Amino acid sequence: MSDMLYTIEWAANPIATKIRLTEAGRLRLKLGIAMDWLEQAWCCAKLAREQQDLKWADSHHFEFTGVDNDTLARAIDRRAATCERELAESHCGDCTCVPMSCAKCYAESMLGVDTIAGLGKYPGAVVAGAFAGERTTIAEALAQIAKPIQPSWGMPADWSPHMERWQQERRDATAWLEQYQRTHGFK
């Protein structure tokens, strides 16, 4: 079914894998966004009922008055267009230790797909940092990850307490990237 909704263009840099939607995929994306909005609205309404204060709900995310179907449809269309653009971009957010939500992860979740499944955020940051550009191969990224850690700040006493965790993150990133390489047939 997924191949009727979208195609995945697996990239050597897994953070930069692209998803192209079909018309059916665009509809699925819009329905996912609508369901997400309705779920959030339902939760907010439930909290408002528990608080017995509709003004509380309005000030905490959702406005329960003045929303008509046209307004909601336009909002869903705008979010869907943004999500479709994000599906063609790189991951950047919690998934790669950047302190913000990843719009690509959100868009993928609306489709029920995860192009970086199993990659934790810390190893994700290692993988993202190992690719210098679109032309970096997986072999080059793995070689970059294998280089000794040389922090450019402070003295060894400042960063040595973190060294074992950093090395584990690199081992995890290496294992994940090697599995990705085998799974998708990259050399």
Per residue in 56-84, pLDDT tens? 666 655 554 556 667 788 889 999 999 99
Q: Is the dihedral of CA 123, 85, 61, 109 positive or negative?
A: negative
Residue keyed to tokens 């909290």: 47
pLDDT in tens, 134-146: 789 999 999 999 9
pLDDT in tens, 145-172: 999 888 777 777 788 888 899 999 999 9
pLDDT band of residue 49 (cuts 50, 70, 90) is confident
pLDDT for 93: 94
The b/e string for 65-103 (b: 16+ C-beta within 10 A; e otherwise) is eeeeeeeeeeebeebbeebbebbeebbbbebbbeeeebb
Q: Mean pLDDT across the chain, nearest whole number?
A: 88
**Mean pLDDT across 36-45:** 82
Report d(CA 111, CA 33) in Å as an integer. 9
Residue 44, pLDDT > 90, answer no
| Lowest-confidence pick of 6-10, 133-137, 161-165, 176-180 | 133-137
- H helix runs in the chain, sequence order: 2-5, 23-51, 54-59, 69-86, 103-111, 121-130, 138-146, 156-159, 163-184
Which CA distances in Å does 108 have to 33, 49, 51, 168?
A: 11, 32, 34, 28
Residue at 167: amino acid letter? Q
Continuous segment of H or E residues that includes residue 8 = strand 6-9
Residue at 58: amino acid letter? D
pLDDT for 78: 94
Which CA distances in Å does 113 have to 2, 15, 54, 92?
A: 9, 14, 36, 16
